[in-house]
Structure 1
């Protein structure tokens, strides 16, 4: 069975080689590696083309500023039965693909998810994360998939499932991982969890997730949820409403907290309006109550500072379940 590994790149010359080496050293060898470049201006192309391995293929695309179009192009030409989307600074353990293929074939699923390890590049250490609880569970439902990091690097998809869903990555948009993954969840994939720690997600200061483009990144979440809500209505998976609403509210409050109420009020009001548009009584939802009971002090500050609601009003509504 051929596995396609799709790697979008942009000015990744200083670290993509480490990622590529980790793929080439896989114990499972029936793979194709599709490196799709977003118009790099450094030596990324030369680094990739220096490899003589026939499994490595390089494709140069026009710069769009986000990896969505590179992933979509890689998907469109992939020949594998299954697909793994890897970022250009991720690292695969040598048996990652072998173990995921084993889970895929034994359990006849559309999606395999393995446990990731988070590595802080600056401080050169593995860091803990909230995903530990998810991978400690014994049983899983589709609703549980709203609890995990939507990044693609620890997931292997059956290509025919992706084709049937018709879901693609948003292009020229940040946070597209979230929209893509949740849109696929609405198509009810058969999935399994591989609890082995098989890949390393690297946190570095120059990555998209931590760069100076954060303002656009946080506002792009509105485009992402447009995709999510459209797919939700299209598939009519209303049984996932509570899980979706819980994650939506948490994400909106998280995004709002990145903006200054003194100098970036316009962005705050846009996100606030979007929150009320799609969840008018979000402050009485079961999901928000769970967050509020755990982080009252934090949410009281957030709710007042960003004019979402007064803490007294929130407290009364949460308490009586209005």
Structure 2
């Protein structure tokens, strides 16, 4: 009997994108799907767009707005499939996603298939994303959508509610829970990078330290599962990547108020030193050789409050490169 695959799609104010997303799922080469669409209180015409698409595999639900975490949790609660895929409704997927992942499961007995993606900007330019750091949780990433899950991996696991970066709070737990994760290099997901109202593109300082809460949640969940000690090194890499590199180099340095910026960076430095005092000795590499070197130098400058020099090494060159490449 063919396994049933549950595809969970939270929807909120994406009337321009949701049809493309749903069509990429409906047109999958593997057809035994239940397509769970959770309308999280959308205030635009998203509901009308979804309801105009007729496919008996679609299970449509409406709920009061509670955020993407609550919508995904709702989808997980009603899912009946043997496997689970999650898709953001402004993105879309390869029509061979499910078939490719199921073929991988059949060949390898994987309980979690990790695939990769393309970044896509509004001009339609695509950027292939490599996932080759050689560290399980970093290659997997904290996003829910580049993974094909055996459904039982989600037993007892749900997204934290009421925080930003909620994916970070649970996806590494599910990744580390997997007994046989298998990574493939196929780019099966198309991630839209430059929607202005996307959370990843919003700067809101009040939420930046939610990263810390989510990292602490990972630790709590790993202890519940009895796999904390064997996963401690993986957790250290998560702290290094998300608290240090991402929060400093992608968020903190763009805070315009100098006092606020300094206070946040000082707090970040204090947290990592208390949690993993030897974090600088880990063989962490952020990108290719040149990029990693620049990031490391810039990070040292920012952590020691040499902001202008840090900007010269990283912020300004990154801005120029971003404009040139479109990413």
Residues 168-224 of structure 1 show CA distances to partners (whole Å, capped at 9, x for unaligned) of: 111122212222211113324311223222221221232433443543442221221
Are the counterparts in 2 of residues 186 and 237 from structure 1 also a CA contact under 8 Å?
Answer: no
- How far the C-alpha of 1:63 sits from its partner, in A, is 1.4
Give the Cα separation in 2 of the matches to 1:186 and 1:125.
33
Give the Cα separation in 2 of the matches to 1:228 and 1:108.
26
Q: In the alignment, which residue of structure 2 is the partner of 1:173?
A: 163
Residues 147-182 of structure 1 show CA distances to partners (whole Å, capped at 9, x for unaligned) of: 33321222111112321xx11111122212222211
Task: Find 1:221's aligned residue among 184, 191, 211.
Answer: 211
Deviates further, 88-97 or 13-22: 88-97
Give the Cα separation in 2 of the matches to 1:92 and 1:48.
17
Deviates further, 12-21 or 258-267: 258-267
Cα distance change, pair 236–148 in 1 and its aligned pair in 2 (3 A): closer
Cα distance change, pair 205–100 in 1 and its aligned pair in 2 (3 A): same
Give the Cα separation in 1 of the matches to 2:83 and 2:178.
17
Stretches of structure 2 that go unaligned for 5 or more consecutive residues are: 308-327
- How far the C-alpha of 1:111 sits from its partner, in A, is 0.6
Give the Cα separation in 1 of the matches to 2:143 and 2:101.
17
Runs ≥4 in structure 1, deviation > 4 angstroms? Answer: 290-293
For 1:54-73, what aligned pairs fall within 5 Å after superposition? 54-64=56-66, 66-73=67-74
Q: Determine whether 1:150 maps to 2:142.
A: yes
Q: In the alignment, which residue of structure 2 is the partner of 1:294?
A: 293
Stretches of structure 1 that go unaligned for 5 or more consecutive residues are: 135-139, 308-322
Q: TM-score, structure 2 length as denominator?
A: 0.81
Deviates further, 269-278 or 55-64: 269-278
What's the C-alpha RMSD, in Å, of the aligned pairs? 2.5
Q: In the alignment, which residue of structure 2 is the partner of 1:4?
A: 6
Q: In the alignment, which residue of structure 1 is the partner of 2:320?
A: none
Deviates further, 99-108 or 206-215: 206-215
Are the counterparts in 1 of residues 17 and 91 from structure 2 also a CA contact under 8 Å?
Answer: no
Q: Determine whether 1:127 maps to 2:127.
A: yes
Q: TM-score, structure 1 length as denominator?
A: 0.82
Cα distance change, pair 37–213 in 1 and its aligned pair in 2 (3 A): farther
Give the Cα separation in 1 of the matches to 2:297 and 2:268.
22
For 1:229-240, what aligned pairs fall within 5 Å after superposition? 229-234=219-224, 235-240=226-231
Residues 116-152 of structure 1 show CA distances to partners (whole Å, capped at 9, x for unaligned) of: 122122x3201244x2535xxxxx7xx4233333212
Number of aligned residues = 293
Are the counterparts in 2 of residues 6 and 83 from structure 1 also a CA contact under 8 Å?
Answer: yes
Residues 224-243 of structure 1 show CA distances to partners (whole Å, capped at 9, x for unaligned) of: 11211112333234233233
Are the counterparts in 2 of residues 45 and 58 from structure 1 also a CA contact under 8 Å?
Answer: no
Q: Determine whether 1:241 maps to 2:232.
A: yes
